[in-house]
């Protein structure tokens, strides 16, 4: 019984001493600003990267943090509730084929759902070309809930 009491007091003291300790804040480096609900980042070339904005825009961010205009060619995005334009990744052979893959909430008969598309980023990085939807969730659902999507290339 005495050992149990010592264990309980020791545990209480240990947790009590740590209760006042504060975790250090992680460092934050702002590389771009003025984005609406930025969701995902994919590095492309020369220090530039693509960023998706949940309301349905994809932009190129320069190495100096300059935010480019929305890319043309992004398919219609159903940006309601938690849905919108979500993940983006570059193809493993992006340097040669300029292909990007991305997912988004898509409206259709009966509601909306997740879709995934592939496209080619134009040489001047102003538009998506040859956009092809390669996956559509079926059936569509009437929901404003989260349409999560993360892309992993195998």
Which residues are catalytic, by number?
146
d(CA 104, CA 107): 10
Q: Which residue has the tokens 């969701």?
A: 39
Cβ within 8 Å of residue 119, ≥6 positions away: 73, 99, 100, 102, 128, 129, 130, 131, 132
Helix (H) or strand (E) holding 7: helix 2-19
Q: How far apart are CA 2 and CA 91, in angstroms?
A: 64
Q: How far is CA 93 from the centre of its chain?
A: 21
């Amino acid at each position: 019984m005495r050992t149990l009491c010592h264990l309980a007091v020791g545990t209480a003291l240990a947790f009590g001493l740590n209760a006042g300790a504060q975790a250090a804040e992680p460092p934050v480096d702002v590389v771009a600003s003025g984005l609406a609900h930025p969701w995902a980042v994919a590095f492309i070339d020369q220090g530039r990267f693509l960023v998706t904005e949940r309301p349905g825009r994809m932009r190129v961010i320069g190495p100096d943090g300059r935010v480019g205009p929305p890319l043309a060619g992004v398919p219609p995005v159903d940006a309601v509730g938690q849905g919108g334009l979500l993940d983006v990744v570059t193809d493993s052979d992006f340097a040669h084929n300029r292909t990007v893959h991305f997912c988004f909430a898509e409206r259709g008969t009966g509601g909306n759902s997740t879709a995934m598309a592939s496209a080619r980023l134009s040489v001047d990085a102003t538009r998506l070309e040859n956009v092809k939807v390669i996956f559509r969730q079926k059936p569509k659902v009437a929901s404003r809930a989260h349409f999560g999507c993360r892309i992993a290339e195998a």
